[in-house]
Structure 1
Amino acid sequence: MEIAVRNDSIIYLVDKIKNGDEKEVKIAQTRFYKIFAGYVYKLAVQSCSNFVDPNFLAKEVVQNTFIKAFDYLPNFTFKSGIKDEEANKIIKALLGQIGNKVLLNTIAEYINEKRCNKKIEIEELKIFENEDEELNVQPISNIFMKKLQSALNDLKEKDKHIVLTYAAEDCIDNTRHISENAMEFLCSAHKTTSANIRQRKKRALDKIKSKCFEETK
């Protein structure tokens, strides 16, 4: 017995994106976009908040996320008998995963092409456990900034994304916590728990500090 679904349900829209004619596909894609664009944009602008124009950058992330999603969905299949509420969560997780890769690529492209300037300077990232701890050289030298950039580049993409998300919310030190939305995004994007996110963040910061201060000990 087939389960009847509403023509505005996620299951129906994904089916039309996969199997509809040209007109049905366009209509389904438009409805799908309207349902999830706000969700993706909110997560994207939050992760881009340490750039000069986070709204512009986030819009590019949203656009490219849906382009890749619409390329992927024709090969995507829900399990039999799934309810629309569960399908909604699965699609959000999928968009989060796609959006995370798009976000990292977009930010890397902007940094490499110098198309925007970061509002947060390197020295403003609180990578110290103790806020009273300072570098021996003031202001922070180009050598240190190069070390910091090198340390970030040495991290796995997942760990780099976690650290940058914490930095974007000014929550690098252990006394502050990122917002529930940001943590939900990280857990969804990397398919893990909040406890694991915090552990990965701590290990990543330990690696950064070790590399940045290895010659100052």
Structure 2
Amino acid sequence: MLGQAISVDGARWRRILSERDLIPVTGTMADSDRTTVTRQDVFNLGDQSISVDHAFQLLYYSLAWGLGLRASRLHQRLDNLAAHQDRAGELLVAAWESVRAGAPVKEAYSVLTTDRGAGQIPWLGPAFSTKFLYFAQGNVAQPRHLILDKVVATNLTEDVWPAAPINAWWPETYELYCGLLNRWAVEVSEDPKVNRTVRADEIEFAIFKRHLTAA
């Protein structure tokens, strides 16, 4: 799963960032026009020392991995990031520090979202906030902060969480979601037939793939 590779357009990212005077991208997307980014690549960025520059790289790669080659509405996302660059840097660093300090899931999520689940940074909504928090954990054995997006939320409503919202999540809702998937990971790991430790993000990925399989 950590090798899951997403195609990205490095040349497009470099051009749009430059046009908006945003911090330039480094690494793979700086060196290649079309390349791939894996989960492992982004987790490695989460292991770096925390700084504004590193926080922007972590955000860029989290977004690139989540948006893929088409990168829909990338101009609008980066327009708003540029318009709130200083504030965004402060929030991203604070969220990353919260994750690294082992703060409760709800507390870290609340740095990037309002108490009603809207993004504190325009066009960085709750789904991409959870991606940033997920990768900010770096290479941990058992991630606590998990990705939650519309696909995962919709699939959960079908069987186990019928009343759950599918577009935005209050901090308390996100905390419940992460707790649920971490408990499921423990339960699966204790099954003698499995014979290994299952990560909570493996559960999330399996829920996400239900949509792809059904399609």
Q: Normalised by the size of structure 2, how large is the TM-score?
A: 0.28
Structure whose CA Rg is larger: 1
Higher relative contact order (CA closer than 8 Å, sequence separation 6+): 1
More helix by share: 1
Q: Normalised by the size of structure 1, how large is the TM-score?
A: 0.27
